[in-house]
Amino acid sequence: MGLDTIVAWSGALLVILLLIYSILDIHNNYLSQDIGLLQTIREEGSKFRTDFDVINISYNSSSQLLEVYLKNTGSEIIYFQDYSISRAKCFDVFIDDSWISKDKMKFILLNDSFDALLWNPDEYLKLNISIALSSGEHTIAIVLCNGVKEMETFVA
Amino acid sequence: MGASTIVSHLILFIVVLGMTITLVSVLTGYVSQTGAVINLKQRSMINEIKTNIKIVSIKAENLSQNSTLKLYVKNTGYVTLKTSCLDVFIDREWVKNFTAIDPDSLELKSLWNPKETILLNVTLPKTLNESEVHEAKVVTCNGVSDSELFSK
């Protein structure tokens, strides 16, 4: 094998390597974007599996405490964003369309067996709200982190 | 093969090589520019797919001109949004005066993270009929929107 053959084969090998690298680079770019999209689609699907119900609402006018019992009726586990059950940061609560400040609310997971940070399907969540309400009919709206909303009317 | 043949072949070779190099460089430019545009469009579309907002509550105490309408809007998508380029429409009319604030601290919000709810204090440009149902619409920078009906 002459020197010219070695040079020719080396050249061909270099070209093939460059081609493979280019293809892999393009594919990697597309793959990473596809994975990002798939993750978005998967997380969007979780919204359809998320559901909850307001089971009971009671108001104690002397202590100005509103107790709301919620049940996870969906098939999705609901995570508490800031890892603190007492301050579920991305849960929004409105009473008569008015925003309830986070420091007036406390979330307590009931019948929780082992994972204190997760609101599992069929588990109950108690929401205590310190608020002064006039006697009569009021509306409470609760919005979860992913935008799933539940509204209920109650009498104080 | 004479010297003249070698010279003519050499000239032809150089001309062909020159043309090939020019063609390749022009094509490379086009291909890279097209690739960059496709990539940009793809990223923009992915960003749009990942963007989602939801008007979770509207508080309308007064519907007279210059009164404040409170829109609570949640970022239910997966990207951080800028509040500076949000658009608000009331009954399909663009509203110029509104502020985006944190509903807890009441501080102005410039960046709006996923899962966060912001309060848009919208100054009504004109008096709305209290016996009618009205529509509030919020549009993000990349055109994703949500609308909700409200009345007093």
Q: What pLDDT score was predicted for residue A20?
A: 84
ipTM, two decimals, is 0.75
Per CATH, the number for A51-155 is 2.60.40.10
Class for the domain spanning B53-150: mainly beta
Residue A81: pLDDT over 60: no
- Tell me the nearest-neighbour CA distance from B70 into chain A, angstroms: 9
**Nearest CB to A97; choose among B43, B57, B76:** B57
Query: Does pTM surpass 0.95?
Result: no
Per residue in B128-141, pLDDT tens?
999 999 999 999 99
b/e per residue A16-35 (b: at least 16 CB within 10 A): eeeeeeeeeeeeeeeeeeee
- Tell me the nearest-neighbour CA distance from A93 into chain B, angstroms: 10
Per-domain residue ranges of chain A: 1-49, 51-155
Q: What percent of chain B has pLDDT over 70?
A: 99
Per residue in A98-117, pLDDT tens?
999 988 998 888 876 667 67
Per-domain residue ranges of chain B: 1-50, 53-150
Put residue B25 in one of left, alpha, beta given phi > 0 → left and psi -120 to 50 → alpha.
alpha
Per residue in B91-128, pLDDT tens?
999 999 999 999 988 999 999 999 899 999 999 999 99
Across A43-69, average pLDDT: 91
Q: DSSP string covering A47-89, please? A: HHH--EEEEEEEEETTTTEEEEEEEE-SSSPEEPTTS-GGG-T
C-alpha closest to that of A90 among A131, A149, A32: A149
- Tell me the nearest-neighbour CA distance from B50 into chain A, angstroms: 6
Tell me which of A145, A148, A150, A151 to substitute to probe the interface with B (most B C-beta atoms closer than 10 Å): A145
Q: Of A139-143, B34-38, B51-55, B137-141, where does mean pLDDT reach its minimum?
A: B34-38
